[in-house]
Structure 1
Amino acid sequence: MTRTPTTDDWGIDASWLDALDEEHEVAQETIDRLREIIGRPPADLEERAPIVARPGDALEVDAIDVICEDGEVRSVDGSLPADFPLGYHWFQSPEGRRRRLIVSPGRCWLPEQRSWGWAVQLYAARSRESWGIGDLADLRSIRRMAADQGAGFVLINPLHAVAPVPEQEASPYLPATRRFLNPIYLRVPEVPGAETVDLEEDAGRALNDGELIDRDAIWARKREVLMRIFFAHGGGEAFGRWREEQGQTLQDWATWAAISEEHGADWHTWPEELRRPGSPALTTYVEQHGAVVAFHAWLQWALELQLTAATDGMTVIQDLPIGFAGGGADAWTWQDVLADGVSVGAPPDAFNSQGQDWGSPPLIPWRLRDADYEPFIQSIRATISGAGGLRIDHVMGLFRLWWVPRDGTAADGAYVRYPAEDLLGIVALESYRAQALVVGEDLGTVEDGVREAMAEHGVLSYRLLWFEDDEPATWPAEAMAAITTHDLPTVAGLVGGADLAEQREQGTGTEEELARGRSSLLEHLPGVAEGSSAEAAVERAHQLLAQAPSLLLSATLDDAVGAPRRPNMPGAGGRPNWSLPLPVPVEDLPGHPLLRAVVRTLADGVTRGTD
């Protein structure tokens, strides 16, 4: 019998179920603290909060005019006409009050044909022309390779910007913003105007010599050269027109980036007069530092040009992190919508007995509604833009998030509910408009109803060989199927024992826990005998994956070249997470024998599934 937790008026669940279906009560002290943080919504919120609906839906509104996106005025009385245009509109009352109306198709866009593709940690995919880190020109090369191999998509790690400070944030899942890109991914010689300065390319390429990806050194080198290009060239009229089209959103980002270079990555520590967007002091700051602000806007223009070239002609699935840094640009812009004194995480589960604290501040649900969902809309739209696909990290966060009080541990948190139906409707609208597929990362503990709601809205599930107990042939069709993720062992690391040895070294569990975890994963590789070679295990794993009838089959480049180390090991603070380059340069990938075998296996699997 399914148990539904009691949710109070603040959206807080009084209890939660763990992976073993055991119920845990939330401490009253935690509930009281979270209620204080969330606060009471205004009495008239329900009268002014956005309505998210589909054409033909009944609405609880009397006869009223709707100002559509294109300026057309239509009258609505009781229900939306079946032919009502999709988009972001406004109810307009006779007294002049406005209320947002978001009309969604209800289902995300989906491709008609099955396909396979590569999952790529772009920073790790270095070529001989890279400056220490995989960049957008390397993505272009990988996209061309994938197209030549018959792949249908490339899935990449989040490319969102971090603070442009000397100490660069390594994790792609803790960005300063989910609306702008990280200039560390620029291929400097291809930036407009690069030919006007001495790039000192040998010094840039020398950054490839390091065993690890040294973001601090890479950003220092790239920033210095990019600044010289900007002052020598400036982008001309094309950049000026683009910057004007982007409006205040870009200006706010560029302003935050300029201030962070001077005063640090956390806006809470800035001079008080700079801590609020729109303050008079900010206007003065921009006037005094206009060139640096323009530089950060120019970087985004250059990034858009290179990303467009890199993704041209193929679906590139971009990754949306669950949150952003509490001192970052999005937190600065939307500080009145964020919860103060808590962060997002996960309760204790079978994979982490202590729970997890991911460090990102959550949006307060009622304040998100009161902001017309704008923080969510902008994040979805920016990440899905122009690439053909979106992967939503921890998609369960559209339904509920685990809030961890600042003065407690991850185990001391509670779930807070979100308006999932509205958020899924917005995702569907943005997907439809961009003609982009959407994958929801529904791994770990998934409560009842989440996957059903995802299926109803056309959001693909995410199924892993390491997690699923059922045969791949029985996995759902509306899903992305894969073997592993960036947080889990590679096939070579699992079978050869390198991953277990590294977990022991990092102290991520007891000997018994680690041995049991490895044995559990090895059970998902039937046909791989003890002592099998990494190559044989990789081929077998992809043979199993190819049996899945899922719409998308995803293979990691790490597995395809037999890499023994996973990109990220949660809980291993002393490990160089997110800083391990692929052991094979991008130029050599097409001829790599194991990668070629993976291509044949997955291509055959897709062909068999469509016959």
Structure 2
Amino acid sequence: MSQDPSPPVTDRWGIDASWLDALDTEHTVEQATIDLLREVIGEPPADLEDTAPIVVRPGDALEVDEAVVVLEDGTSRDVDGELPEDFPLGYHRIRTPDGRDRLLVVTPGRCWLPEDRSWGWAVQLYAARGTGSAGIGDLADLRTVRELAESQGAGFVLVNPLHAVGPGPEQEDSPYLPATRRFRNPLYLRLDDVPGVQLTDADRALAAELNGAELIDRDAVWAFKRAVLERSFDADAEGFRDWWWHQGQPLQDWATWAAVADAHGANWPDWPAELQDPRSDGVRRWVADHEQQVAFHAWLQWLLDGQLSVATGDLTVIQDLPIGVSGGGADAWAWQDVLAQGGVSVGAPPDAFNAAGQDWGSPPLVPWRLRAADYEPFVESIRSTMAGAGGLRIDHVMGLFRLWWVPGNDPTAGAYVRYPAEDMLGIVALESHRAKAVVVGEDLGTVEDGVREAMAEHGVLSYRLLWFEDDAPSSWPAASMGAITTHDLPTVAGLWTGSDVREQVELGTGEEEQLEKDRRQLLAHLTGHAEGPAKRSTPGRAVEAAHRLLATAPCTLLSATLDDALAVERRPNVPGAMERPNWRLPLPVPVEELAGHRGVRSVARALGTGIPPL
């Protein structure tokens, strides 16, 4: 057992010289790793602390005296030493007598929180197909799920990331490796709700064929939808041009990247040199020569904006923010000076669940460059994901504090790099306040000391799972979202029948003896029964028992998956199992039939809605 390891030493590049694993064993980072990461990060500028944004709350002391603050609305206020308690929230500019001009972010410090506790459904939207879908769950299906939730007295719906991937024929299956965290995936468009679309009998036959497939085939779905959308494209549709203009440079960058990706592939470092800089004359000339192609991708986002608004209605829809983006994607192209170059990515160190560690494939933001960029990539990603839905779940929220940087695809040779967590949490709180959006931080796995305390201080809800917690749900903190499982963990039915253990053994992602031991312990914790089918019960009863246990938690939010309610045995994703059809498993029941499904009603009753039994 390790003995009171000292806090890690962090250098001016933000690199920790050591780290603690889940067993509190201290590990020293190899000097070769530190040297490599320093080279990738680059030397922070000497005047960074005098030029980087200041993030404060009203009433806080300032780092500067006798300054003029130019507010967002264009008016000015003099400040001297500290901000008044009534100072307006927002993104302002502070100007000092010596000529310095820097961003001043005034934040409420705490995220917006709902007044009442509530429960809701967690759904992998791509899996929630309905009779009108075309092979994949779409925004019209989200509307059906939302209306179901409202009818049952639920307060929210939690969905997987809806962010866009590359527009080419080979679609990325994982929602957690998008090309952008600012714009949405046109795969989720309902064609029947697109103005001007006229589907032929052949179109409807193909849509039905795609909808009947055993697995979700994004490539085939996108080929079909894109063909219909291209022939229906109307660059002069009423309201489109005005909406596009108001989106400004971010949408122009996305639409440009997507149009160039159609011509040269979805990896910008492979493009012709004159197109690799988004602000170059070469890109401007290319856009001028391909106006219709750029407009098409902007039009798709206009459609998505309208359909999402209808889908979410007045209910809180919590959208998921991935930890990063693909290195060849649109955000990486637009912000290539802020993202780390040189073959490093984000991941996780070795632990008890994965001795080789993990490489998630996304290039990390360089902390000092992020500050020098006035946090623009972070602000836009947070704001865009919250937009129009009222909730945000931050995947791997520990990344606001530190991230495991993986050099050369070897997670065992990585190191933690520190981020300006206090500033980033303040920005999250400001965006949450403005959007009236609840924020949940996915703080699962190894969480260092101080993270959950900082989350609580800033009003970010913790994430508590029956899967991981030893304490009874009744003792969980109120400032949290409670759930049984996630997309990366077994379903209750998969545990109950033992099928999840059998699949893991077949995939080589665990040893049968240990997996079976863990399964029995977890079943005993979830339902009070360790024997599974031998108890002559059913997966449905196990699911209901687990949710009755969950209902005892005092959490602000309680989340139930549709996979569990439908007694689905295969989880959406098994991390590291590349040969498995991860992110491609549809739900076994059309969304229109969910309201009458016994399991769905049972879970809703267990979480306190009072729906009478069938």
- Counterpart pick for 1:99 among 93, 97, 102: 102
Q: Which amino acid aligns with 1:411?
A: T
Q: Which amino acid aligns with 2:605?
A: R
Mapping for residues 254-273 of structure 1, pairs under 5 Å:
254-273=255-274
- Counterpart pick for 2:53 among 50, 53, 65: 50
Aligned match of 2:393? 391
Q: 1:322-357 deviations in whole A, cap 9, x for unaligned?
A: 000000000000001111121000011122121100
CA distance in 1, matches of 2:147, 2:455: 32
Provide the TM-score with structure 1 as the length reference. Answer: 0.97
User: Is 1:599 aligned to 2:604, yes or no?
Assistant: yes
CA contact (8 A) 1:235 1:298 kept: no
Range moving further from structure 2, 133-142 or 59-68: 59-68
Give the C-alpha shift of residue 94 in structure 1: 4.4
- Counterpart pick for 2:590 among 585, 589, 592: 585
CA distance in 2, matches of 1:93, 1:114: 46
User: Is 1:481 aligned to 2:486, yes or no?
Assistant: no
Q: Which amino acid aligns with 1:291?
A: Q
User: Is 1:30 aligned to 2:16, yes or no?
Assistant: no
After superposition, the Cα gap between the structure-2 partners of 1:235 and 1:512, relative to the gap in structure 1 and judged at 3 Å, is farther
CA contact (8 A) 1:189 1:199 kept: no
CA distance in 1, matches of 2:187, 2:361: 23
Give the C-alpha shift of residue 124 in structure 1: 0.1
CA contact (8 A) 1:123 1:133 kept: yes
Give the SS at the match of 1:525.
helix
CA contact (8 A) 2:152 2:604 kept: yes
Q: 1:226-265 deviations in whole A, cap 9, x for unaligned?
A: 01110xx335230011011111111110000011111111
- Counterpart pick for 1:365 among 359, 367, 390: 367
Give the SS at the match of 2:416.
strand
CA distance in 2, matches of 1:578, 1:501: 19
Give the C-alpha shift of residue 563 in structure 1: 0.4
CA contact (8 A) 1:120 1:157 kept: yes
After superposition, the Cα gap between the structure-2 partners of 1:438 and 1:521, relative to the gap in structure 1 and judged at 3 Å, is same
Give the C-alpha shift of residue 272 in structure 1: 1.0
Provide the TM-score with structure 2 as the length reference. Answer: 0.96
Range moving further from structure 2, 449-458 or 594-603: 594-603
Aligned match of 2:350? 348
CA contact (8 A) 2:161 2:175 kept: yes
CA distance in 1, matches of 2:482, 2:241: 43
Give the SS at the match of 2:456.
helix
After superposition, the Cα gap between the structure-2 partners of 1:205 and 1:198, relative to the gap in structure 1 and judged at 3 Å, is closer
CA distance in 1, matches of 2:261, 2:126: 23
Range moving further from structure 2, 512-521 or 565-574: 512-521
After superposition, the Cα gap between the structure-2 partners of 1:398 and 1:358, relative to the gap in structure 1 and judged at 3 Å, is same
Mapping for residues 283-432 of structure 1, pairs under 5 Å:
283-340=284-341, 341-406=343-408, 408-432=409-433
Aligned match of 1:609? none
Aligned match of 1:534? 539
CA distance in 1, matches of 2:117, 2:497: 32
CA RMSD of aligned residues (A): 1.5
Q: 1:429-448 deviations in whole A, cap 9, x for unaligned?
A: 00000000000000000000
Q: Which amino acid aligns with 2:547?
A: H
- Counterpart pick for 1:135 among 128, 135, 138: 138
Give the C-alpha shift of residue 501 in structure 1: 1.1
After superposition, the Cα gap between the structure-2 partners of 1:220 and 1:24, relative to the gap in structure 1 and judged at 3 Å, is same
Range moving further from structure 2, 595-604 or 100-109: 595-604
Aligned match of 1:89? 92
Give the C-alpha shift of residue 275 in structure 1: 0.6
Range moving further from structure 2, 1-10 or 219-228: 1-10
After superposition, the Cα gap between the structure-2 partners of 1:197 and 1:76, relative to the gap in structure 1 and judged at 3 Å, is farther
CA distance in 2, matches of 1:566, 1:164: 27
Give the SS at the match of 1:590.
helix
Total equivalences in the alignment: 603
Q: 1:521-576 deviations in whole A, cap 9, x for unaligned?
A: 33422422412321111011101100100010100000000000000000111000
Give the C-alpha shift of residue 203 in structure 1: 1.6
CA distance in 2, matches of 1:304, 1:539: 36
Aligned match of 1:441? 442
CA distance in 2, matches of 1:188, 1:237: 18
Give the SS at the match of 1:237.
coil
Mapping for residues 165-204 of structure 1, pairs under 5 Å:
165-195=168-198, 200-204=203-207
CA contact (8 A) 1:177 1:328 kept: yes
After superposition, the Cα gap between the structure-2 partners of 1:79 and 1:222, relative to the gap in structure 1 and judged at 3 Å, is same
Aligned match of 1:124? 127
CA contact (8 A) 2:527 2:542 kept: no
Give the SS at the match of 2:575.
coil
CA distance in 2, matches of 1:512, 1:37: 43
Q: Which amino acid aligns with 1:284?
A: R
Q: Which runs of 4+ in 1 moved over 6 A?
A: 196-199
CA distance in 2, matches of 1:157, 1:186: 15
Give the SS at the match of 1:169.
coil
List alignment gaps of at least 5 residues for structure 1: 607-611
CA contact (8 A) 1:65 1:74 kept: yes
CA distance in 1, matches of 2:82, 2:96: 16
Range moving further from structure 2, 19-28 or 289-298: 19-28
Give the C-alpha shift of residue 197 in structure 1: 8.0
Q: Which amino acid aligns with 1:588?
A: E
Q: 1:144-169 deviations in whole A, cap 9, x for unaligned?
A: 01000000000000000000011100
Give the SS at the match of 2:113.
coil
Give the C-alpha shift of residue 519 in structure 1: 3.4
Q: Which amino acid aligns with 2:559?
A: S
- Counterpart pick for 1:9 among 7, 12, 15: 12
Give the SS at the match of 1:204.
helix
Give the C-alpha shift of residue 199 in structure 1: 8.2
Give the C-alpha shift of residue 517 in structure 1: 3.4
- Counterpart pick for 2:566 among 561, 580, 586: 561
CA distance in 1, matches of 2:84, 2:67: 13
Give the C-alpha shift of residue 520 in structure 1: 4.0
After superposition, the Cα gap between the structure-2 partners of 1:605 and 1:107, relative to the gap in structure 1 and judged at 3 Å, is farther
User: Is 1:546 aligned to 2:548, yes or no?
Assistant: no
CA contact (8 A) 2:152 2:609 kept: no
Q: Which amino acid aligns with 1:138?
A: D
Give the SS at the match of 1:454.
helix
CA contact (8 A) 1:318 1:389 kept: yes
Q: Which amino acid aligns with 1:482?
A: A
Give the C-alpha shift of residue 604 in structure 1: 5.2
User: Identity percentage over the alignment?
Assistant: 68
Q: Which amino acid aligns with 1:401?
A: L
